[in-house]
Amino acid sequence: MHQNPDRSPFSPVNIGPLTLKNRFIKAATNEGMSAQGVPSRQLAKLHAGLASGGVALTTVAYCAVSRDGRTLPNQLILERDSLPHFKALTDAVHREGGKASAQITHGGCFTFIRERSTPRPLSASGGFNKIGMMSGMFLKQAMNEADMEQVVRDFAQGARLAREAGFDAVEIHMGHGYLLSQFISPLYNKRRDQYGGSLENRLRFPRRVLRAVLDAVGQDLAVVCKYSITEGVRAGNSAEDGAQIARMLEQEGAHLLVLSAGMNAESITTMFGSSFPKENRVQQKNPVIALAMALQRRMDPVVEFRELYLLEHARKVRAAVKMPLAYLGGAKSLASIEQVMAEGFDLVAMGRVLIAEPDYVNKLASGASRNSICTACNRCVAMMYTPGGTSCVLGQPGDAQLNSQRAAG
């Protein structure tokens, strides 16, 4: 274990070509602030507020690299027409002294978009699509070499567009059951060619994507990978697998790993570290989302939140690699943040805590606070479907009017 009791969470850190003023990252969370498929003024305001609140790097979630790569209607897409709106967001963040990261992703078969260029949603393997039970797309399509090459190009182009839009980093989403995760996970990848079978083979395509992104922007932007260090479900990847995955991503040259966990469909409590309240499941106007949440509730066990709920798994990754790592999972007090730093993690990523208190980092730095007001109730997740987008139930809801306006006016 890498012990460093003297490391301060408020000290600067280098991530590839990027220098951050402190060790705090706003983790990617779906804010529901892209009603027209581009950043809204509310989304720009949110991320600017996080920067002014002390966060060094704020992550803009779920920027699809193609229209086929979207998971939900109106999801953010990195394409040329959307650049002025992304640029308005990054300019707002920079004015407040922060840096911005674009999370680039492709949903694969985890999608509710029926209008697409392929007959069926793409994935590592074909056959029955369990996600399609909620969207009517009951079959998925195994990717061939031409499909893979196109997706590699899409990720590289998405990264270049992110650079043009003023982002300081890109985060390649390799977790939670999206396309790259579908290759990594034995739950989804049943291939018998060079992209299936062993863990090394299952990482072959995600590594191609990482290499293409590094070649495209790695001299200018930090290239981050977010992945599930454990999938939290029988027959899925374990934390030991997560450590091996980290070694391979380190070998490929990633600048930073964000250590998440769980899968959207199979093990969402592993991701959040606690169960979702009943009202998150049943008070949804969108019937598809309501059904999805109801099914998850039936599948998931009741889990009580505890701080640093992923630390035992993350330690295995820390012991396996020397590269920078961002701990994610239940850090909601200065004591837990300092413990993460002392155990050798380079940064801490927080989601719910910073939705509850965008200025939490400044409060910690000034001594005004030690413990977050966040209760890890997970109600903020359901709030992303409200007109104002994601907000903490302990505070004010988002501004529905700003959320209906494009960031660049």
Q: How confident is the model at residue 258 (pLDDT cuts 50, 70, 90)?
A: very high
What global pTM score does this model have?
0.94
Alpha-carbon distances, residue 108 vs 69, 153, 229 (angstroms): 6, 15, 20
Supply the pLDDT for residue 7: 81
* pLDDT tens digits, one per residue of 102-126: 999 999 999 999 999 999 999 999 9
Supply the pLDDT for residue 3: 57
Is 339 a residue whose pLDDT tops 80? yes
Domains of the chain by start residue, with CATH: 57-332 (3.20.20.70)
Mean pLDDT (the chain) is 93
Interval 281-290 mean pLDDT:
52
Q: How far apart are CA 173 and CA 57, in angstroms?
A: 16
Catalytically active residues are 178
Interval 320-331 mean pLDDT:
98
Is 289 a residue whose pLDDT tops 60? no
Is 285 a residue whose pLDDT tops 50? yes
Is 6 a residue whose pLDDT tops 90? no
Calculate what percentage of the chain has a pLDDT beyond 90. Answer: 86
Supply the pLDDT for residue 35: 79
* pLDDT tens digits, one per residue of 340-375: 999 999 999 999 999 999 999 999 999 999 999 999
Alpha-carbon distances, residue 44 vs 40, 84, 351 (angstroms): 6, 12, 17
DSSP bridge pairs for 122:
141
Supply the pLDDT for residue 173: 98
Contacts of 168 (CB under 8 A, 6+ apart): 18, 57, 90, 99, 100, 101, 221, 222
